[in-house]
Structure 1
């Protein structure tokens, strides 16, 4: 039941991120600055994270915060600031669908980094490792089928004149956007690894998220003040721009960051990354529903393959957990069998 709830939360996070990418593209089309957006969204998120952290740790004292842990959290803030800027600039050059497609690279990047850092073990003779490897490949393949193979249309929709430009971009801009989004995906994978490294030594997700958000706000403000020369860019407009900032601050920066840190500690970075390809299916759904895109057979096939890949990875992880639990139970049983013998011997003496 607890595992099912965790899976449902992760699926919901990916759905919210697909909505965030769509909103950010709409706001950028109306002239919102990428750099100012990162500053405002993280600054506003502090208003939610700070009181939540104080309330949560009012009766649960957090571990002692050392200088070394702060330095590690600064690395998280640096990675988060860089990937957020690259991601939103990449979305501006391309589209939310491209962003979701590049996110499908995150499981592969994370799996490779986890192997390098020895957070994951790969033994192709074991079924769980085979399932995780095949599932990762299937998820990536499904995401790219959605993007690069359309096929015959299934559901026709009349494009909205103002929103149809979301999926239209010059070829050069599309390539630049794809490169920036792929780079941000690699940084996200690296962020998962560093977060897991921190949380294992400092199991306080709220505190890590709070200080990470502080560092992101400071770093992004420095970058925005240097790069953004237009003073009008700092003026908030009471339209889709303000909605996007509030949405990103509450759901993406605050809630998502805490949940990712928590799940990384319990399940590891590879488990978190396996849900990223689901954003591709959500992006297609939102495109058809809200942007009035046409649904093609390739999108359906890709979504099915993504689901199969995710199921394979989840089965592999569940099989690993079951094997570990069985080994622990067998060790406990074997040790308990020896205890009465020792007790009887001591009594005879």
Structure 2
């Protein structure tokens, strides 16, 4: 392996090790008494502050583009809204301002908020190993949502489609087994590492609550929100191809949403205090290392090796988390957890293989089409058509796909906007009452 191939390989291992450390350090912070909602809010705040310099350095040109994009979206929404509604209430105006293209970033923020909050809540009522295992459901859930939103075809008659369907079934089966069945304890011996802080937390460990269904259900819901983020991220990347800037804006909006939700559930000053070293370490580690730095490294690797290369390393996080949890947190590994995790990993690789097979065929067809279009003898046969699109123009294919992707956008916009509006009103009422 040459240097050019070794560097992405090493960086992806470092990223997965960082995420494995996130599961462990977040578990310790939550066990020390930190509210998982507060941890989610601090993560988004530190992530915003740490990604913003990258956005300014690499994508300073996108600031003017973003201003024009928002301005045009607002103008289009005003004209469309004025033609449809004569009189508007407060709620309808609030929904209108957040509607259409401008609300794509709000959608992303809502999905990030749901993902982060449910993940940390699930981690509180589960173990770090189970939390890491259930995040591997992401490709399967993304595949299901892509079919629902008509971004992908089922294609069960093809090998690639059959592999993705079987992989999804394996992932779901593994998640159910992992959630509802523990079985016997697998004897791994005792760890020789003695960390006083972890041993102190062992007495108040909520791993016994890991048998509760609340933890796995929250983690599955977190993965669903994450899959929804991937679906809408596809559209916003086409309209605004500046990943660092859009991520900064997304984390900025998500930080306010997480703070509002956390304040509604616990507005005491002690809940937001960072007087303990573990709380500060968990918040900084989650926001800076596992959000900003890891995101930049994965973006760099995707540009050079492709998204499939990055996704293949995901199961490594489960192995590293299991080792760290056993060594530092003294977690016990159950038979149901091991078998369920194995099924999820097998399903993950089946889905990834199906996606790879599908991408290779698509690239081969497009390459053949381009070669045929360059040949003057085939000008009459292939004027401007692509066989992979069924004889349709490429522009028509993209427009129909975008239309299908945003088919439910207005309804989802209204739902998220009303939820956010109710949270803001509740917070304002509490503030007025206290004053």
Tell me which interval the TM-score lies in, with the shorter structure as reference length.
0.7 to 0.9
Please state how far the C-alpha of 1:325 moved relative to its aligned partner. 1.7
Please state how far the C-alpha of 1:257 moved relative to its aligned partner. 5.1
Please state how far the C-alpha of 1:296 moved relative to its aligned partner. 6.0
Correspondent of 1:130 among 162, 176, 181: 162
Task: State yes or no: 1:157 paired with 2:218.
Answer: no
In 1, Cα distance between equivalents of 2:379 and 2:118: 64
C-alpha change, 1:295 and 1:218, in structure 2 (3 Å) is closer
In 2, Cα distance between equivalents of 1:274 and 1:341: 41
Please state how far the C-alpha of 1:241 moved relative to its aligned partner. 0.9
Please state how far the C-alpha of 1:112 moved relative to its aligned partner. 1.1
Please state how far the C-alpha of 1:145 moved relative to its aligned partner. 5.5
In 1, Cα distance between equivalents of 2:221 and 2:61: 41
Please state how far the C-alpha of 1:26 moved relative to its aligned partner. 0.7
* Aligned residue in 2 for 1:190: 228
In 2, Cα distance between equivalents of 1:324 and 1:237: 55
In 1, Cα distance between equivalents of 2:341 and 2:219: 21
In 1, Cα distance between equivalents of 2:231 and 2:310: 10
* Aligned residue in 2 for 1:19: 21
- Aligned residue pair count: 339
Task: State yes or no: 1:176 paired with 2:244.
Answer: no
In 2, Cα distance between equivalents of 1:175 and 1:161: 26
In 2, Cα distance between equivalents of 1:301 and 1:199: 37
C-alpha change, 1:300 and 1:91, in structure 2 (3 Å) is closer
TM-score, length basis structure 2? 0.66
Q: Deviations over 1:133-191 (max 9, x none)?
A: 223333444556566355563521259743545462347x8222233222222211111
In 2, Cα distance between equivalents of 1:284 and 1:277: 11
Correspondent of 1:319 among 344, 350, 357: 357
C-alpha change, 1:341 and 1:232, in structure 2 (3 Å) is closer
In 1, Cα distance between equivalents of 2:310 and 2:342: 20
1:239-278 to structure 2, matched below 5 A, reads 239-256=277-294
* Aligned residue in 2 for 1:336: 374
Please state how far the C-alpha of 1:196 moved relative to its aligned partner. 1.7
Correspondent of 2:125 among 93, 100, 103: 93
In 1, Cα distance between equivalents of 2:146 and 2:309: 11
User: Which runs of 5 or more structure 2 residues have no equivalent in the other structure?
Assistant: 74-100, 381-435
Which moved further from structure 2: 4-13 or 100-109? 4-13
Q: Deviations over 1:84-122 (max 9, x none)?
A: 122212222233233224324433322111001122222
Please state how far the C-alpha of 1:33 moved relative to its aligned partner. 2.3
In 1, Cα distance between equivalents of 2:352 and 2:137: 17
* Aligned residue in 1 for 2:347: 309
C-alpha change, 1:309 and 1:275, in structure 2 (3 Å) is farther
TM-score, length basis structure 1? 0.80
C-alpha change, 1:174 and 1:272, in structure 2 (3 Å) is farther
SS class of match (1:237): coil
Q: Deviations over 1:47-71 (max 9, x none)?
A: 2111111110247787445234542
**Does structure 2 retain, via aligned residues, the 8 Å contact 1:140–1:277?**
no
Task: State yes or no: 1:229 paired with 2:267.
Answer: yes
1:65-144 to structure 2, matched below 5 A, reads 65=67, 66-67=69-70, 68=73, 69-142=101-174
**Does structure 2 retain, via aligned residues, the 8 Å contact 1:42–1:249?**
yes
SS class of match (2:42): helix
User: Which runs of 5 or more structure 1 residues have no equivalent in the other structure?
Assistant: 343-349
* Aligned residue in 2 for 1:345: none
1:18-37 to structure 2, matched below 5 A, reads 18-37=20-39
**Does structure 2 retain, via aligned residues, the 8 Å contact 1:156–1:294?**
no
In 1, Cα distance between equivalents of 2:10 and 2:144: 26
Please state how far the C-alpha of 1:242 moved relative to its aligned partner. 1.0
**Does structure 1 retain, via aligned residues, the 8 Å contact 2:122–2:216?**
yes
C-alpha change, 1:39 and 1:305, in structure 2 (3 Å) is closer
Correspondent of 1:206 among 226, 237, 244: 244
RMSD: 3.8
Please state how far the C-alpha of 1:78 moved relative to its aligned partner. 1.9
C-alpha change, 1:223 and 1:260, in structure 2 (3 Å) is farther
SS class of match (1:186): helix
